[in-house]
Structure 1
Amino acid sequence: MRSWFARLSIAGAFVVGLTGPNAAVGLNVFETELGQLARTRLVEVARSPVVVEAVREQNRATGAYPDARIAELDEKWAAEAAAEQKGGEAGPLIAETMGRPVSLYLRQIQERSQGLFTEIILMDARGLNVGISQTTSDYWQGDEDKWQKTFLAGPNSLHIGALEEDLSTRTVQSQVSLPVVDPQTKEVIGALTFGVDVEEL
């Protein structure tokens, strides 16, 4: 297992840039391993019936949301997340999302990964949270690469984010995102993001 010093060296010295519609700025030396992980374990989760059906169901509810409604929900979520971070209980919007069967499924996957996955976020066709393994700071992910470079990029897209250092937990992570595809229509209906601790690869 790599030392903390080695991880910092990797994060600081071996970041490279790629081009193309699915390339992140500052991709890392773990791109190959993360790509292989995405095309095996992660895609299985994205194709699972519980994930696909949860996205389908939410799309039926949120598809007609006006932008103002999305902004309102995102603001409400942010306030609840901030209160939770200060030691309060989860607010109603976060609690409802965390209580869904798909969120339980994602939490179980994270727990069973033995530290490989640091978070899992499932998003609908509007970029809103469908299921989460733990509380996120935002409810709407539609302005971020995790959604824009997967949902908008097509059924075969893959986005590997830059390495990010978390000094509080002494981990170096990368977000790996892929689309959720409806097996019946072959259309992209959502997106799925995994936070991956690269030392655990």
Structure 2
Amino acid sequence: MSWAAGLNVFEKDLTLLARERLQAIAAADVVVEAVRAQNRVTASYDQARIGELDAVWRDEVASGSRALIGEVLDRPVSRYLAQMQEASEGLFTEIILMDGRGLNVGISQATSDYWQGDEDKWQKIVPVGPQALHIGPLEEDLSTRTVQSQVSLPVVDPQTGAVIGALAIGVDVEEI
């Protein structure tokens, strides 16, 4: 796997974690099938449509409404991701599954936005290829008093070998 270097003293540990545990999550049938299904719907979306959906999501976050957010959270793939987060016993702080356009397919918990396509977690994965790995910088979460890094890797269609989406996992580096 190749990866984009950032100033993160945990890069080796996070790369090993990606190879040993995170790739299995990205390759799970429920993950691959969910991305395939959403790509069939969103492949034709233009940037205006993506912006509209992202605005709806952000409005829901601000208002506490949950129509679109709830629909995504209720998906089987989101329940799977939430189970993976829970099973990590604090190692994973969030899991976000994105389609080929950078839109949320599944989430372990609500995110601040719907479109991730303008962020490194998608941009340094989907256009790069099946061997991509991005280790984000260390970030301190003041609310949880944790230091975390986001690890992103591709979701690869096992039939074609093509990157069809991305998976980003927040990792509490103090739990490695």
TM-score by length of 2: 0.97
Q: Does 1:49 align with 2:24?
A: no
Identity of aligned residues (%): 70
8 A contact 1:27–1:160 mirrored in 2: no
Deviation for aligned residue 1:137: 0.4
Deviations 1:84-134 (A, max 9, x none): 3xxxxx421000000000000000000111000000000000000000000
Which residue of 2 is the match for residue 145 of structure 1? 120
Separation in 1, partners of 2:43, 2:37:
10
Which residue of 1 is the match for residue 167 of structure 2? 192
Deviation for aligned residue 1:22: 4.0
1:63-142 alignment, distance < 5 Å: 63-84=43-64, 90-142=65-117
Deviation for aligned residue 1:38: 0.3
Q: Does 1:178 align with 2:159?
A: no
Q: Any gaps of 5 or more consecutive residues in structure 2? A: none
Which residue of 2 is the match for residue 36 of structure 1? 16
Deviation for aligned residue 1:81: 1.2
Separation in 1, partners of 2:92, 2:132:
20
- Structure label with greater radius of gyration: 1
Deviation for aligned residue 1:82: 1.7
Q: Aligned to 1:93, what secondary structure does the other structure show?
A: helix
Q: Any gaps of 5 or more consecutive residues in structure 1? A: 1-20, 85-89
Backbone CA RMSD of aligned residues:
1.1
